[in-house]
């Protein structure tokens, strides 16, 4: 008779006394502080991996091969001929005698502008951008964490910058992951969007107070926070990054205070349209004319900051994995979006109908769910089913998982910040293909929405004429 040598599962025969020895002491409130300090130290050490000797981030150089393959659509020999015939253009630098030339992104942007002015007219040296139209705002949102939300937003911002667009990234997540990726430094909530939201509310209350005084009523005094916020412009909280054409409004933990402060303001000022706060401030400060694309990275929750980001956006992207749980969670997210924005519309339109005013409605140029971290061998069938249910709402492009994600993540950076010499050229080409395809799918939405606005503006001009 054979002896059963099957190993027992690890949850059998656990010795309570041994478990007690390994348990450690109970944790009190102060224990959370110690854990947080340890994480902060670790975060600082890990983040420093992507920093230069001065303690800041710097963007790598781009080779002639990369420029002519990915950034400026010209043949490499022609690119070199143009540089030789125009010594006033950036000439790059070589690390070895006769070696490949390397350029900063600033220099690439100058070269792109030269080819746009002097090169063949049938090539797209500069990306499509209608004149006279404002920037497009793009929110990346889902209330389920771990779906690649921040990574997707960061890589789209970098892709757009490499494509030649002027980009602003707004971090609405108090965890500040996007801020870390772009090397942002935020001391407190006054370096975030918080004072901009406070300013919007303070402006509302100041106007409401004028109405109260006109009616002989006592005005509601503005506290020190609101008085200070009235002095702050969006430009005051925008910081430059190591990317020459990406700016940032960062976030840090204190930004979460907004989720508690906003409902207090809402109770004090019933007529305050909190969902318009971010949109109104960006427009009032001229920010929509200073940038081409503005990316909003939202918290993994449908709170007041997320509502502001979603209400401000023209395009909504919802990343999710190809799994049942993420599909189910994303469906509930859309259900909450419906109930939240329908509730706002219903509340506003009751008053609008009573006063004979035009009713309000929210509208987005495009809403797309995007499958991230995709493994075609394991998830192909489920992804196809998700496509069948969601139709056009689910982008047909799936963002494959690539080892480059993990390696770039260890350096607190993006795929486009990785030097292909750290891998090899073929691995780099394969690794960035999925992100290039993700950007291509997004760019179709961007250009289509701009083109629709452009046609509508032209028709309106003709109608007036």
User: Between the CA of residue 198 and those of 77, 284, 340, what are the distances in Å?
Assistant: 55, 14, 22
Q: How confident is the model at residue 207 (pLDDT cuts 50, 70, 90)?
A: very high
Residue 408: pLDDT band with limits 50, 70, 90: very low
Half-sphere exposure of 137 (CA within 13 A, CB side): 24
Provide, rounded to the nearest whole percent, the portion of the chain with pLDDT above 70. Answer: 92
Share of the chain above pLDDT 90, in %: 51
Tokens of 389: 């249910």
Q: Is the pLDDT of residue 303 over 80?
A: yes
Over residues 23-37, the mean pLDDT reads 76
Say if strands 293-297 and 136-140 run parallel, antiparallel, or are unpaired.
parallel
pLDDT at site 410: 47
Under 8 Å between Cβ of 243 and 182 = yes
Question: Could you tell me the pTM of the whole model?
Answer: 0.88
Task: Please give the mean pLDDT across all residues of the chain.
Answer: 87
- Alpha-carbon distance of 226 to 7, in angstroms, equals 66
Quick one: pLDDT at residue 212?
Answer: 86
Q: Note the pLDDT of residue 43.
A: 62
Lowest mean pLDDT among 105-109, 225-229, 312-316, 435-439: 435-439
**Contacts with 22 (C-beta within 8 Å, 6 or more apart), sequence order:** none
Specify the pLDDT at position 86.
95
Rounded mean pLDDT, 182-203: 95
- The string of pLDDT tens digits covering residues 389-400 is 888 888 888 888
Q: What are phi and psi of 310, to 5 degrees?
A: -70, -40
Q: Which of 23-37, 89-103, 336-350 is predicted least confidently?
A: 23-37
- Report, in angstroms and rounded to the nearest whole number, the Rg of the chain calculated over CA atoms: 26
Look at residues 334, 414, 387 and name the one whose alpha carbon lies nearest to residue 144.
334
Whether 237 and 169 have beta carbons less than 8 Å apart is answered as no
Q: Residue 2 — pLDDT band, cuts 50, 70, 90?
A: low
What confidence tens digit (pLDDT) does each residue in 309-368 have? 999 999 999 999 888 888 888 888 899 999 999 999 998 888 888 888 888 889 999 999
Integer Cα distance of 73 and 111 in angstroms: 11
CA angle at residue 138 from 361 to 431, to 5 degrees? 150
Could you report the per-residue pLDDT of 440-452, keeping only the tens digit for each? 999 999 999 999 9
Residue 69 has what DSSP assignment? I
Give me the helix-helix angle, 425-464 and 403-410, nearest 10°.
90
Burial of 445 (0-12, 13-18, 19+ CB in 10 A): buried
CA distances from 182 to 103, 337, 419 (A): 20, 29, 17
Q: What is the pLDDT of residue 53?
A: 57
Tokens 């006394």 belong to which residue? 17
């Amino acid at each position: 008779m054979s002896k059963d040598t099957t190993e027992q599962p690890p949850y059998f025969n656990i010795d309570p006394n041994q478990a007690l020895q390994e348990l450690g002491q109970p944790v009190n409130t102060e224990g959370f502080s110690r854990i947080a300090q340890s994480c902060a130290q670790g975060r600082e050490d890990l983040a420093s991996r992507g920093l230069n000797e001065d303690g800041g981030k710097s963007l790598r150089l781009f080779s002639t091969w990369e420029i002519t393959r990915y950034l400026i659509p010209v043949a490499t020999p022609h690119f070199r001929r143009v540089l030789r015939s125009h010594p006033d253009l950036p000439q790059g630098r070589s690390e070895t005698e006769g070696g490949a030339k390397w350029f900063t992104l600033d220099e690439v942007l100058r070269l792109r502008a030269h080819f746009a002015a002097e090169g063949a007219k049938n090539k797209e040296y500069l990306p499509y951008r209608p004149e006279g139209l404002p920037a497009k705002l793009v929110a990346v949102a889902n209330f389920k964490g771990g779906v690649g939300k921040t990574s997707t937003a960061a890589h789209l911002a970098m892709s757009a910058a490499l494509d030649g667009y002027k980009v602003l990234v707004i971090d609405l997540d108090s965890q500040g992951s996007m801020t870390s990726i772009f090397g942002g430094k935020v001391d407190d909530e006054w370096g975030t969007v918080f004072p901009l939201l406070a300013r919007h509310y303070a402006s509302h209350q100041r106007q409401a107070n004028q109405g109260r005084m006109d009616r002989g009523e006592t005005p509601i005094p503005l506290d020190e926070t609101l008085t200070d916020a009235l002095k702050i412009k969006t430009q005051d909280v925008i910081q430059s990054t190591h990317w020459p054409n990406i700016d940032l409004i960062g976030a840090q933990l204190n930004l979460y205070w907004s989720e508690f402060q906003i409902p207090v303001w809402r109770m004090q000022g019933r007529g305050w349209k909190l969902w318009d706060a971010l949109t109104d401030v960006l427009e009032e400060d001229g920010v929509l004319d200073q940038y081409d694309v503005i990316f909003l990275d939202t918290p993994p929750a449908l709170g007041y900051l997320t509502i502001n980001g979603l209400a401000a956006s023209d395009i909504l992207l919802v990343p999710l994995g190809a799994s049942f749980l993420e599909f189910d969670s994303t469906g509930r997210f859309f259900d909450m979006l419906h109930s939240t924005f329908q509730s706002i519309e219903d509340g506003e339109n009751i008053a609008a109908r009573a006063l004979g005013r035009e009713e309000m409605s929210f509208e987005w140029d495009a809403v797309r769910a995007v499958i991230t971290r995709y493994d075609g061998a394991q998830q192909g069938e489920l992804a196809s089913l998700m496509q069948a249910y969601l139709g056009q709402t689910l982008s047909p492009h799936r963002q494959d998982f690539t080892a480059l994600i993990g390696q770039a993540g260890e350096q607190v950076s993006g795929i486009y910040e990785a030097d292909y010499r750290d891998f090899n050229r073929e691995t780099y080409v394969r690794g960035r293909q999925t992100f290039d395809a993700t950007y291509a799918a997004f760019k179709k939405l961007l250009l289509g929405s701009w083109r629709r606005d452009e046609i509508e503006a032209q028709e309106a001009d003709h109608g007036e004429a």
